[in-house]
Chains A and B, each alone.
Chain A
Amino acid sequence: MRVSIRINGRSRDFEVEPNELLINVLRDRVYCTGAKYGCGIGMCGACTVLLDGEAVLACLTLAVNADGSSVETIEGLAAGDQLHPLQHAFLEEGAVQCGYCTPGFIMVAKALLSENLNPTEAEIREYLKGNSCRCTGYVNIVKAVQRASEILGLDCSARGLCSDP
């Protein structure tokens, strides 16, 4: 089956089998290996990518269901050498240990901050609960999301985009 998927801003056409998953296309066809094939059953969040802006599990999404959609992965976050505020914040807060879960955490955090630029710690923990970190670095991950929300908040007020000062 022929599908057209916009991946990190670039439209690509693929011939896929019905049982091919979005994660297979991302990792094996376009070599975006940031999203990890973790548990495969929706419990770990390591395969999280954004599908039309919403966080989904690439390991439980059929490639055919991404036809005509935009997919954003960790590879699309930085602008050249310029890291995204979330990536900066994860580095600064030491929110990365082995790194396996990190792309999933950053993508779900991006979805959170696009809905709610100023989340409370409880809101962050609730939104990120579908992602597991087996190095157990949750405290620093939460701190990183808080820091990113501050950076993004400053950035948007500097550009006059925020309604609140």
Chain B
Amino acid sequence: MSNNHVNSHILPEFKYYAPKTIQDAAILLSEHGSEAAPLAGGTDLLVRMKQGLAKPKVLVDLKYIPELKGIRRDEDAIWIGAATGLRVLERSDIVVEELPLLGQAVRAIGSVQVRNLGTIGGNLCNASPSADSASALLALDAEAQLVGPGGNRHLPLQKFFLGPRRTAIQRGELLVSVKAPLARAGIGSCFVKTARTSMDIASVNAAVALAVEDGLVAHCRIALGAVAPTPVRIDGAEAALLGNAPSDEKIEEAARLVGESVQPITDVRATAEYRRRVSMNLSRIALVTARGKMKGG
């Protein structure tokens, strides 16, 4: 439906719950099934409701569940609560020090106002193929931690995204946190994005993480957004770099493989051909920049 056929000033009616615990939220979401939608920052859901694209009868507000908020670090991983605000995240010392790639991607989302409202879990569960945080978290080997009637489970982020606006979350389940392993020493990373205007969603984004041992690439992650039905990692391009010196030629080869692997579509933001070309260029830029940020090796 086009924006012109609805009044974006009117939010349709719904029943509102603000549970205080994960268990209560899971029960509410389970009871109301497909009529219910979890609400976090609202910057996607409320917009879709105003546009008539989402019609939940029940909203389960997750902002009042303390367990869903905050960023903590243990011996081998960083845990980010799903309802943690995007600006809280980008300003967190833990993120700045340990996950600079995620910080860079989150700062590329929307505006200050949008990031003051929006949450990391919302950005992921909205499952837009162009979600900026998703590409970065894919490149960081992150896992989604889910809680539901069947108990807890965790999924690598690659298995979490099923398609545009579709995730592996089942009825009554809730994304509780995202877990990212601590990066290996000396890793270099970079996030880049193109968009039509500063407030638009990405026409393509790319997140790269790179580390070398004895001059040879020992760790390589190349993830892209808005080039396929979900954010994707490009295994072939990663494999082309692994075990080789990260030379300009090898980076060029990896970028070419990215261009050959992506499955972009044509939409209002860009043509498929343009996205293919940009995905090659962004991958090259991100790889060269990440190489420059690596330490040691």
Contact = CB atoms under 8 A, between A and B. Distances in A.
Given A18-B14, A19-B13, A42-B47, A62 B42 contact: yes
Given A19-B14, A129-B198, A60 B59 contact: no
Interface residues of A, number: 31
* Interface size bracket, B side: 20 to 34
B170 interface: no
A25 interface: no
Nearest to B91: A115
Interface string B6-18: 0111011111101
B42 A60 contact: yes
A40 B9 contact: yes
A119 interface: no
Contacts of B61: 62, 64-65
A61 interface: yes
Nearest to B58: A18
A56 B117 contact: yes
A150 interface: no
Interface in A34-74: 37, 39-43, 45, 48, 51, 54-57, 59-62, 64-65
B114 A65 contact: no
A54 B13 contact: no
Contacts of B13: 17-19
B42 to A, nearest CB: 5
B47 A55 contact: no
B225 to A, nearest CB: 19
A42 B117 CA distance: 11
A3 B9 CA distance: 21
A1 interface: yes
Interface of B: 3, 7-9, 11-16, 18, 42-43, 46-47, 50-51, 59, 61, 63, 87, 110-114, 116-117, 198-199
Given A40-B9, A42-B110, A57-B114, 17 more contacts: A1-B16, A18-B15, A19-B11, A19-B12, A19-B14, A39-B8, A40-B8, A41-B47, A41-B51, A54-B116, A55-B112, A60-B46, A62-B46, A62-B61, A64-B61, A112-B112, A129-B111
